Amino acid sequence: MKEAPALLICMGVSGCGKSTVATSLADQFDLEFIEADEFHSDANRAHMAAGNALDESMRRPWIDSICDALGDHLQGNRNCVLACSGLRRAHRQRFRELGFRAQFIHLCGDKELMAARMTQRRDHFMPTELLDSQYSDLEATDDEADIVSLDIKADLPQVLSQAAAMTRIFLQSKPAGCLSE
């Protein structure tokens, strides 16, 4: 029986460093990097840039597009890392159901830290004003066994090192039902 490819999802609210961490992990572990923000429609980007949070009817086609792209990677048996907010449990569940061996790294931090990081970004469609809605939309992850949390208040090299250690453990672990040869 062939082992499913790995899907690592760097998740969290805007400003937590999903793209930075995911890019680093892609480079270190030879994973294909997928940026969820690239799948937003122009209308969604404009809506958020105007300071309006997305509702579920606007998120659904976005998640569908991400899942379609991930499906292509699954068919190609390619290991991936996805930078995606993953705020809703239902969205996380959609990623789990694709058939990958999945692991989430939830990049956590307080609102003040995220706001400070967001104000330093240039050319990003997500305004700091939407940070409250991100925290409001973030559904608890406590009872989801495939999610590990990483506090991002440390300096970037330390966060990247911790994320790499988590990834190494995940990639080296045997999936459930897999027998050693």
pLDDT per residue as tens digits for the range 91-113: 999 999 999 999 999 998 877 77
29 pLDDT higher than 80: yes
Question: How does the average pLDDT of the chain come out, rounded?
Answer: 86
b or e along 140-154 (b: 16 or more beta carbons within 10 Å of the residue's beta carbon)? ebeeeeebbebebee
| Spatial distance between the Cα atoms of 4 and 162, rounded to a whole number of angstroms | 25
131 pLDDT higher than 80: no
- pLDDT-derived band of residue 178, with 50, 70 and 90 as boundaries? very low
Q: Burial of 119 by CB count in 10 Å (0-12 exposed, 13-18 middle, 19+ buried)?
A: exposed
% the chain with pLDDT above 90: 52
55 pLDDT higher than 70: yes
59-73: per-residue pLDDT in tens?
899 999 999 999 999
Residue 112 identity: E
- pLDDT-derived band of residue 115, with 50, 70 and 90 as boundaries? low
| Spatial distance between the Cα atoms of 153 and 171, rounded to a whole number of angstroms | 25
151 pLDDT higher than 70: yes
Tell me, what's the pLDDT at 1? 54
Domains and CATH numbers, the chain: 6-172 (3.40.50.300)
Mean pLDDT across the stretch 12-41? 92
- pLDDT-derived band of residue 179, with 50, 70 and 90 as boundaries? very low
- pLDDT-derived band of residue 177, with 50, 70 and 90 as boundaries? very low
- pLDDT-derived band of residue 26, with 50, 70 and 90 as boundaries? very high
Tell me which residue of 92, 87, 105, 114 sits closest to 149, measured CA to CA.
105
Residue 63 identity: I
127 pLDDT higher than 60: no
Q: Which residues make beta-bridge pairs with 150?
A: 107
Q: Burial of 169 by CB count in 10 Å (0-12 exposed, 13-18 middle, 19+ buried)?
A: exposed
